[in-house]
Amino acid sequence: MPDAVAETRTIPAPSHPLDPLTPDEIRQASAAVRAAHDLGAGMMFETITLREPEKDVVQGFRPGAPFPREAFVCAFDRANGQVWEARVDLATDTVVDWRHVPGVRPRILVDDITLVGEVARADPRFRAALAKRGITDIDNVQVDPWSAGNYGLPDEAGRRLCHTFCWYRTEKNDNPYAHPIEGLCPVVDLDRAEVLRVDDYGIADVPMQSRNYAARYRTVYRNDVKPLEIVQSEGPSFRVEGNEVLWQKWRLRVGFNAREGLVLHAVGYEDGGRLRRVLHRAALSEMVVPYGHPDGGHYRKNAFDVGEYGIGVLANSQTLGCDCLGAIRYFDTWLADSKGEPYCIENAVCLHEEDFGILWKHTDLFTGEVDVRRARRLVVSSISTVGNYEYGSFWYFHQDGSIHFEMKATGILNTSGLKPGERPDYGTIVSPGVYAHYHQHIFNVRLDMAIDGERNRVVEVDTVAMPIGPDNPHGNAFTIRENVLRTEQAAQRNVDFNAARFWKIESTERRNAMGQPTAYKLLPLSPVPIFSNPQSMVAKRAAFMTRQLWVTAYHPDELHAAGRYPNQSGGGDGLPTWTAADRPLIDTDIVVWHSFGLHHIPRPEDFPVQPVTTSGFALHPAGFFSENPALDVPPSDRGMSCCVD
């Protein structure tokens, strides 16, 4: 857990139903649960977060009016592993719901990350296995906690576990991923704080070549990098009022929680003097990182970094000039630790605007007149460190009404060693004796759409070539075919490259000036086919990755693509369960779930630290407006850096 920030400044009381919990509210919720349902010395808090209000409360809210305020609490007992959920009414200071959730495991806590290494290094079986490898300076051994998954092993039943992999540091700041301790995987019982067993798959030499990247190790730098300064002499164009952001006709609210990290609420665009709704809520729902090596414990590498660890808990405090550049507005976030106490991650969210090249341009070839506008975009971002990887969630809002999401992946490759005689069939050699396995990063973003309100539908749009014939004598004709996705089963779809497929989310009530339904289109930019066998445990547990598109009828409790408790789950939770009801999707409140990602065949250039690689998607207005909404962006003589001839 990041160092707690003292509450030396005034934390304003919540002024909107979607404002995240304050430190006082976190304390109040944990105290209320303890008072009503104390689980004893082993009581731990997995989650204390805002229980978001019903949509009609949000839509009907007026500044200054009272509003309901509730907290969702997940607590568990280390002594018996039981998990409990509570709903706390903060206005009356009462627990209004308390229920046992059988057969599930809470996510791995920040406390557990430190615990795993301490417990493993103290275990005599682990020490003996290290000694066989010539390692006796135990404090230099790094033990990384990995979610254990569910592989039906009898001795793992009923336990909350971490499976582990190990590396060696030659000194405190050394890059351990250059020195994998191959084949040695302690399995740690988190609640009992003991090593269940030590899986030893055989000894391999520990590579010892130094592969450090940090500034402390560098002595030579490029000498031709000149200063690049971002100056906004009159300040940024956005305004921030509490957690609401107003920028270039866009309005949105910034939220944050321990599990999903950055959450956007109430996204709308001002058009003709009124605010038109686009999204009620948008957040990273889940992700999974399946690795492709079948042996030596590596088959268990398929972490669900959102549901099993929490992207929000692992958020960085961002730094001006490094993570963000320009005129920056930061948002701090308050989360709850395992004892129910609040702590702050400063600068967890960064807000800024940046130049984005040409917005639009035309040169009239007959008159020579040139008209061009310079584009800028609003950036809302958060970066989290999950073990060896960093993930940056970047939302971009554009002046033409478009929204883009980009996931930036960087950090360090997860490495292993090569056993004697082993061929690198499932990865790339990135340093002598250091093996980086093939893997994927598959993300799922939940988009609670609200195109001009909640009565929406989804239409699949394919482009088709027309056959040569009387109506197409030259063979050049192509057109589109639209298919309305009417039920949840019918709305489980994949990208079709040959059809240039995309999906439109249409209002069933509103029309533009041409009589077309107002709509946004979801443009898949990073579809990833899966290579895990459908019968594999990771495919069962992460069924969301098998489709690039899922659509569900809105339900307030359906927030996470792999279910509320993916840690050590047996599979089938989340989207497969909900869509089995095959609810209708026409003229109703719908949620779009988009899966996308990175197919990572590592390169030597990805080591010792990986350059950023990106994946994402776009939401473009498709008939939402009746013309280009960026015609009113001013030219240079109105304060913009563009020109009119």
Residue 412 exposed, middle or buried by CB count within 10 Å (0-12, 13-18, 19+): buried
Contact by Cβ (8 Å): 325, 279: no
Is 305 known to be catalytic? Answer: yes
Residue 498 CA to residue 476 CA, distance in Å, equals 16
C-alpha separations of 338 from 3, 82, 462 in Å: 14, 15, 49
Q: In 10 A of CB 438, how many CB atoms?
A: 17
Q: Which two tokens stand for residue 197?
A: 């067993």
- Identity of residue 379: V
Residue 199 exposed, middle or buried by CB count within 10 Å (0-12, 13-18, 19+): middle
Is 589 known to be catalytic? Answer: no
C-alpha separations of 116 from 185, 339, 340, 480 in Å: 12, 19, 21, 55
Residue 521 CA to residue 537 CA, distance in Å, equals 33
Q: Which residues pair with 12 in a beta bridge?
A: none
Q: Which two tokens stand for residue 396?
A: 């971009």
C-alpha separations of 394 from 41, 241, 350, 409, 480 in Å: 40, 21, 9, 11, 32
Spot the catalytic one: 168, 389, 426, 520: 389
Q: In 10 A of CB 152, how many CB atoms?
A: 8
DSSP 644: B
Nearest to 211 by CA among 413, 477, 396, 479: 413
Residue 458 CA to residue 444 CA, distance in Å, equals 18
Residue 597 CA to residue 495 CA, distance in Å, equals 13
Q: Which two tokens stand for residue 172?
A: 């405190």
407: three-class secondary structure by DSSP = strand
457: three-class secondary structure by DSSP = strand
The side-by-side arrangement of strands in the sheet containing 70-77 is: 43-50, 70-77, 83-89, 94-100
Residue 239 CA to residue 353 CA, distance in Å, equals 11
C-alpha separations of 274 from 237, 245, 267, 291, 627 in Å: 20, 16, 13, 48, 17
98: three-class secondary structure by DSSP = strand
Q: In 10 A of CB 210, how many CB atoms?
A: 13
467: three-class secondary structure by DSSP = coil
Residue 537 has, within 13 A of its CA and on its CB side, a CA count of 19
Residue 142 CA to residue 387 CA, distance in Å, equals 11
Strand blocks (E) in 20-168: 43-50, 70-77, 83-89, 94-100, 141-147, 161-168
DSSP 545: G
Backbone torsion region of residue 142, taken as left when φ is above 0, otherwise alpha when ψ lies between -120 and 50, otherwise beta: beta
What does the radius of gyration of the chain's CA atoms come to, in whole angstroms?
A: 26
Spot the catalytic one: 200, 305, 448, 589: 305
- As annotated, the active-site residues are 305, 389
